[in-house]
Amino acid sequence: MSAATTETRPLLFTGAAGILGRWLRPRLIEAYGALISTDIADLGPALPGEETVVADLADAQAVDALVARAGRILHFGGISYETTFDRLVPSNIVGTYNVFEAARRHGVGPIVYASSNHAIGFYESGRQLDTEVRTRPDSLYGVTMAFKENLASLYYDKYGVESAGLRIGTARPDPIDPRHLSTWQSYEDLLRQIEACFAAPKLGRIVMYGVSANDRSWWSNALVGEVDYRPQDNAEAFAGALIPNGDTRDPEAPEVKYQGGPFVSDGYAR
Ligand code: 15L
């Protein structure tokens, strides 16, 4: 699809009924004009400039019909927490396959998609990671995020579908836990990163960390030259309130020792 078509057709946004989705929708309309928002859950009233479609990402035909009308895709749909493999497969694995396969078939792209820090959550806290490290999932959910990254890699190398995977840390209004001093990404920075990805002349099959400019960040996007993401927020502003007496957590507790925090300790049995 030509760059002009990419920009004149609506942006397709999956996962639009989620917490991040609801915050992003009006801002995406402001940035990109027309938006098709989809989710398996109720999307609420459509905003001016928005079309809402309730659809299951595991339904290949429904996804195909949505992608066929889109210019580019923001794929945030799926389960964003640890649960059973049976539940994760249709939502995160089949759903992501359906999005990429429809994009390939219709020549739609690029795709910016949510991966997660839980794809690398078994690295130790404090270890500095660049975007070339191998995945180290901390949960079945994290495995599905690594799957997305691998699928995106295949779809670029074999078919030329361009994408950017965001290994989102902790996207929320404010950091509320000592771990978030490293992992936090403000909503505004997440939007800046999405916009920077869509503005890049070429994405290839990049993966980036979704993180603000935190003094205590473990993650670097320095190797990703394609995207001009300049985060403006820094969790350090909350350090005095969160750890007034310094970090008193047990450094050997798995949720402290490893980057993935509670996703690591959930079921940890070593
Ligand atoms: C995630 O991937 C989750 O979707 C989110 O709810 C947080 O738990 C976040 O990671 C985190 O690691 O803080």
Q: 6 CA distance to ligand 1 centroid (A)?
A: 31
- The matching CATH number, chosen from 3.40.50.720, 3.30.70.100, 3.90.1150.10, 3.40.50.300, for 3-264 is 3.40.50.720
Cα(142)–Cα(123) distance, integer angstroms: 13
140-169 pLDDT tens trace: 999 999 999 999 999 999 999 999 999 999
Tokens read off for 53:
């479609």
Cis before 110? omega within 30 = yes
Give the 3-state secondary structure of residue 37. Answer: strand
Angle at alpha carbon of residue 202, lines to 165 and 190, rounded to 5°: 40
What number is the average pLDDT over the span 228-235? 98
**Ligand 1 atom 2: residue of nearest CA:** 116
pLDDT at 83 over 70: yes
pLDDT at 55: 98
The per-residue pLDDT for 121 is 98
Q: pLDDT tens-digit profile of 175-229?
A: 999 999 999 999 999 999 999 999 999 999 999 999 999 999 999 999 999 999 9
- Please give the pLDDT value at position 5: 72
Give the mean model confidence (pLDDT) for residues 130-140.
98
pLDDT confidence of residue 7: 79
Ligand 1 site, residue 52, Cβ cutoff 6 A:
no
Instruction: Give, for ligand 1, the residue of 145, 263, 265 to mutate: max count of ligand atoms closer than 8 Å to Cβ.
Output: 263
Indicate whether 244 pLDDT > 80: yes
Task: Give the distance (Å) from ligand 1 centre to CA of residue 46.
Answer: 27
Contact 136, 121 (CB under 8 A): yes
Angle between helices 140-159 and 95-106 (to 10 degrees): 10
Within 52-129, residue ranges assigned H as helices are 60-68, 85-88, 95-106
Q: Considering only CA atoms, which residue is closest to atom 5 of ligand 1?
A: 170
Which are the catalytic amino acids? 141
Share of the chain above pLDDT 90, in %: 97
80 lines ligand 1 (CB under 6 A): yes
CA dist., res. 43 & res. 219, Å (int): 33
Quick one: DSSP state of residue 261? T
Q: Is the alpha carbon torsion for 83, 85, 86, 91 positive or negative?
A: positive
CB 222 within 8 A of CB 130: yes
Nearest to 226 by CA among 143, 176, 123, 156: 156
pTM of the predicted protein model: 0.97
Closest residue by CA, ligand 1 atom 4: 80
pLDDT of residue 4: 61
Phi, psi dihedral angles at 113 (to 5 degrees): -130, 155
Question: Given this model, what pLDDT does residue 3 score?
Answer: 67
Helix 187-199 × helix 19-32 angle, to 10°? 50
Which atom from ligand 1 is nearest to the alpha carbon of 170?
Answer: 13
What distance in angstroms lies between residue 14's CA and the mean position of ligand 1's atoms?
Answer: 18
170 within ligand 1 shell (Cβ under 6 A): yes
Percent of the chain with pLDDT over 70: 99
Residue 6 has a pLDDT of 80
Cβ(87)–Cβ(23) under 8 Å?
Answer: no
136 lines ligand 1 (CB under 6 A): no
3-7, 85-89, 114-118, 155-159: segment of lowest average pLDDT:
3-7
Q: Which atom of ligand 1 is nearest to the CA of 179?
A: 13
Alpha carbon of 169 to ligand 1 centroid (Å): 6
Contacts of 105 (CB under 8 A, 6+ apart): 64, 67
